[in-house]
Structure 1
Amino acid sequence: MHRAVFLDRDGVINEVLNHRVKFVNRPEDLHLLEGVEQAIRQFNEDGWKVFIVTNQGGVGLGYMTEDALGEIHDRLMDLLGASGARVDDIAYCPHMPHEGCGCRKPEAGMILDLAETHDISLGESYMVGDREPDISAGRKAGTHTVFIGSRKNKKVGADHHFRDLLSFSNWLVNRRWT
C-alpha cells in the first residue's frame, strides 16, 4: 500500500477570493500560490502519492462545464509539470452545494474512491485543506488532517496547522518515521 497527500485545490494550491481572482472558472483564472510547485515536488521525491480532491459546485450551478473544468485542471498539471511537480490524480465533485451527494466534502467519497483505486493506506496519509469541510472529509476517511492558512479561527479540529503547503511539505519530508 502507498501513502498519500490529498490536497484541496482552491486556497491550498491556487489563489481564490483575492484581488486577482474571485473564483477559478476559466484556465486563465488559475494562479498557483507561492511555493506550491516546490511542495508538491518534495512530496513526489519523498515517495508520496499526491491527489487533489476538490468541490466544484460551479459545474452544478452552471458557472462552468465539466469540459471547462478539465481545461483548468490541464493548465494546473502543465504549470506543475513545468517545475517537475506531479499530481497522480484529481477527483472533483460537480454537484451543487446541499445536493446531498457522498462525494462533496465534508463527505469522504472522493478520498475513499482514490484510496481504493490507487491502493492507499489512509491511516498513513494526510488530507490538507483550508476549510472545515476539508478537515471533516479527512477525518471521515481516516487520514491525518492538516489545516493550511493564517486564519485566526483555527478551530477546525485538524491534527496539524501550517501557514502554507510548503511549510507542511518541509515538515513532512523531514519527519522521521518510527
Structure 2
Amino acid sequence: MELSAVLFDRDGTLIVDKHYLGDPEGVELIPGTGEALGALHSWGVKTFVVSNQSGIGRGYFPESGWHACEKRLGELLAPFGAAVDDERFCPHGPEEGCRCRKPDTGMWESLKTAHNLDASRCAMVGDKVEDLLFGANAGLAVAVLVLSGKGEKSAEKLGLDAEEVRRQGFLAVSCPLPGKTQSGTRLFAATNVRTAVEGLLAIALFPSEA
C-alpha cells in the first residue's frame, strides 16, 4: 500500500479523552503520539484530524474551545517535528442526522476535496467502532482500532482479543462491522497510536510482508 495520508480521531486516540474537552489546558498527548506523527511527517505522509464534537452543539463549550484545543495540540506536537496538516470536526449530536458525524463521510469528503486525497492511499486510526466504519464507508485502504481511550470497549464489541493485540502490538483482524456487509478496507488493531503508525509504515514500506 502506498500511504499518502492518515486520518486520526482525536480524543482517546491522539490525546487523553477528557470528555467534552473545550479547555486547551486539558490537552494531554497520549504517550507516543508525538513520535508517531513525527515519523509520518519524516516520510512525507500527511496527517489529518476528524473528530465528532457534539459538546459544541449541546452547548457544553463554544466552537472557539475546539480551535483553542487544536492550537494547543499543535504546540505539543511541534517539539517532535510533527503537526496536523488539517482538521475537520462535527459539532452535531447523533440525533441531528447530519452527514458530517462519523461514521458518515462528510468530513472525509471535505478533506478529500481540499487536499486531493486518494482513498486507496489513505488510512484511518481511532478508538471507536465508528472510526472503523468511517474508514470503511469512505473506502479507505486501511482502518486501525487502537486500544487507548474507548478502544478496549470497542474491541470487546467487535469480538476482538485485546490481550492478543497487546502481545503483538499491531495485527490484522477480521470482524463484521455493524451495518456493513462488505468492505474493501483492511482492518487492523493496535495497542496505541505509535504502534498503529509503526504498523502502517511497515505495510507501506514492506507490502509483501503485510
- Determine the structure 1 residue equivalent to 2:197: 169
Partner of 2:124: helix, strand, or coil?
strand
Q: Is contact 2:20-2:55 (8 Å) kept?
A: no
Q: What pairs with 1:1-178 in structure 2 (closer than 5 Å)?
A: 3-16=4-17, 21-143=18-140, 144-149=142-147, 151=152, 152-153=155-156, 155=158, 157=177, 159-175=187-203, 176-177=206-207
Give the whole-Å Cα distance in 1 for the aligned partners of 2:126 and 2:201.
Answer: 18
Is the 1:148–1:161 contact (alpha carbons within 8 Å) kept by the matching residues of 2? yes
Given that 1:106 and 1:133 are in contact with CA atoms closer than 8 Å, whether structure 2 keeps it comes out as: yes
Matched letter for residue 147 of structure 1: L
Q: Tell me the alpha carbon deviations over residues 28-81 of structure 1, each in whole angstroms, 9 at most, x when there is no partner.
A: 111110000000011111121100000000000001111111111110111111
Percent same amino acid among aligned pairs? 33
Give TM-score scaled by structure 2 length. 0.77
State the shift of 1:97 in Å.
2.4
Q: Which has the higher helix share?
A: 2
Q: Structure 1 residue 22: deviation in Å?
A: 4.0
Q: Which has the larger radius of gyration?
A: 2
C-alpha distance in 2, partners of 1:4/1:28?
A: 28
CA RMSD across the alignment: 1.8
1:104–1:22 CA distance, 2 compared to 1 (3 A): closer
Distance 1:106 1:63 in 2: 22
Q: State how far apart, in whole Å, the 2-side matches of 1:33 and 1:51 are.
A: 17
Give how far 1:83 is off: 2.1
With a CA cutoff of 8 Å and minimum separation of 6, indicate the structure with the bigger relative contact order. Answer: 1
Q: Deviations over 1:124-146 (max 9, x none)?
A: 21011110111111111011211
In structure 2, stretches of 5+ residues that fail to align are: 159-174, 178-185
CA 1:36–1:3 in structure 2 vs 1: closer, same or farther (change >3 Å)? same
Moved over 4 A (4+): none
TM-score normalised over the length of structure 1:
0.91
Q: Is the 8 A contact 1:23 1:29 kept in 2?
A: no
| Separation (CA, whole Å) in 2 of partners of 1:159 and 1:100 | 26
